[in-house]
Amino acid sequence: MTPEQVRSAAAGRIIFNRQGGEAGALAAYRALFRTGDASGLRQAFGAFPLPEIRTVQREAGPEGEVVKFTLRVPGVTLGMGEPARRIEDLRTESVLIPMIGKRRERTYTLCVSSQIGCAMGCTFCETAQMGLLRNLTADEIVAQWFGAAFGLGLRPANIVFMGMGEPMDNLDNVLDAVAVLKDHNGPSVPVSKITISTVGRVDGIRRLGERLHEPGWRRLGLAVSLNAPNDEVRSRIMPVNRRWSLAELRAALLDFPMYGGSKLCVEYVLIPGVNDAPSHAREIADFVTPLDEHYARSTRRASPRCVVNLIPYNPRRDSPWPAPDEARVAEFLRRLTELGVYAKRRRTKGRELMGACGQLGSAHIRGRSLVPLAVAGLVRDR
Ligand code: SF4
């Protein structure tokens, strides 16, 4: 709920910190997000259950512990294309990723899920093995921030929508969640510290672009999973490319409003023997460079506006491909840099606990798909 919703719903039913009416409702809302105190909102709404952390896994790394945690959410009844059955034990999966900054202070980036499972079917991704079970509500997305901040005591500095699910597939709830996360009466995460990632759903990119024209939204970050140098490879490993080609993706990105110091993150999962040939680096440069030049003109900033994050493939369960070796990653990074692309290697964190990029997903509900891509209208039958 946004503060406005709480104010109108709770104003007549609450006295908090000796304040009544709308002021009391707002004070109770602030207390929830500042200290985790839900007592004020319980006065107004009766039961006000707080997010319930079910599992916590930790993996030590050079910059601190990577923490993967799950929250229990209501189940779903499956029906489409299979006998109806109910799955009760659904969980969001979130990962807290530590980072040591220039001043040696440790901050955490929270990677949140926007769906349980995913319908996009990327062949290198563990989540895709689950199919899509359901969208998360805005509350269930915000609950992941709450779980990190008050369940684990680790208040995130950054939020990335890169956990389970395709955010553009659930954009209304994602935008409602961002509205709460960035609200100064709520978690108050600066909008420039929130990034929405997409597999390349062009319709969603265009809708998100419209929202960025509104005050308070301009610095919201966008990340695009490119993962392939051309349509042939991309359609093979990312079915979404059969619906929206690279040319359509680039057109949408050229129209995407870029304000001030914002950057476009281009994610590239490097898979040995699939998308790591020397010629592929040239094709990536051909895709990224015109975008970079266009954003530099529109923001009047000379520094690179597109950053390619090179992510060494983290093998999913039963993966047909291994992780790339370090020398291959370094070589590909060198080629991109020589071609004038601003590229960084994403350090692998959380691979052992299946918390690294592309590794989220519950093994016990794998192997089925609630919404086949063709049925969802995302892939033309071939
Ligand atoms: S990579 Fe992202 S969009 Fe693709 S299947 Fe996995 S979660 Fe979905």
Q: What is the DSSP string of 44-70?
A: HHS--PPP-EEEEEEEEETTEEEEEEE
| Any atom of ligand 1 within 6 Å of the Cβ of 199 | yes
Last residue of a domain, one of 12, 34, 49: 49
Domain assignment present for residue 372? The answer is no
Task: For ligand 1, say whether the CB of 127 is within 6 Å of any of its atoms.
Answer: yes
SS3 95: strand
Q: Note whether 2 and 83 are same-domain residues.
A: no
Residue 380 falls inside a structural domain: no
Any atom of ligand 1 within 6 Å of the Cβ of 120 = yes
Tell how far the Cα of 120 is from the centroid of ligand 1, in angstroms.
6
**Helical (H) or strand (E) element with 225:** strand 221-225
* Whole-angstrom distance, CA of residue 36 vs CA of residue 32: 5
Do 212 and 360 fall into the same domain? yes
Residues 96 and 166 in one domain: yes
Domain residues for 11?
A: 1-49
- Same domain, yes or no: 214 and 328: yes
Whether residue 197 is found in the same domain as residue 129: yes
Mean pLDDT of the 199-213 span: 97
Residues 24 and 131 in one domain: no
Task: For residues 140 and 194, state if they share a domain.
Answer: yes
**Entry field: residues in the chain:** 382
pLDDT, tens digit, 9 for 90 and up, residues 108-165: 999 999 999 999 999 999 888 888 999 999 999 999 999 999 999 999 999 999 999 9
290 and 308 within one domain: yes
Same domain for 201 and 282, yes or no, is yes
Q: Is the pTM of this model over 0.85?
A: yes
Burial of 363 (0-12, 13-18, 19+ CB in 10 A): exposed
In angstroms, rounded to a whole number, what is the distance separating the alpha carbons of residues 147 and 160? 15
- Asked whether residue 25 falls in the same domain as residue 57, the answer is no
Of the candidates 33, 48, 39, the one whose C-alpha atom is nearest the C-alpha of residue 15 is 39
Assess if residue 382 is contained within a domain.
no
Give the total number of structural domains in the chain: 2
Residue with tokens 């950053």: 307
Q: Kindly give the distance from the C-alpha atom of residue 228 to the centroid of ligand 1, in angstroms, as a whole number.
A: 14
Establish whether residue 241 lines the binding site of ligand 1, counting it when its CB lies within 6 angstroms of any ligand atom.
no
DSSP H helices in 54-201 = 138-146, 171-182
Q: Which residues are the active-site residues?
A: 357
Residue 301, strand partner residues:
none
- Residue 376 confidence (pLDDT) above 80: no
What is the whole-number distance in angstroms between the Cα of residue 104 and the centre of ligand 1?
Answer: 33
- How many helices (DSSP H) and strands (DSSP E) are in the chain? 10, 16
| Judgement on whether residues 107 and 252 belong to the same structural domain of the protein | yes
DSSP H or E run through 234: helix 231-237
- One domain, residues 68 and 166: yes
Residue whose token pair is 């892939």: 379
| Residue 316 within a domain | yes
Q: Which atom, in ligand 1's list, is nearest to the CA of 360?
A: 7
Confirm or reject: Cβ of 111 under 6 Å from ligand 1: no
Q: Could you report the per-residue pLDDT of 167-205, keeping only the tens digit for each?
A: 999 999 999 999 999 999 999 999 999 999 999 999 999
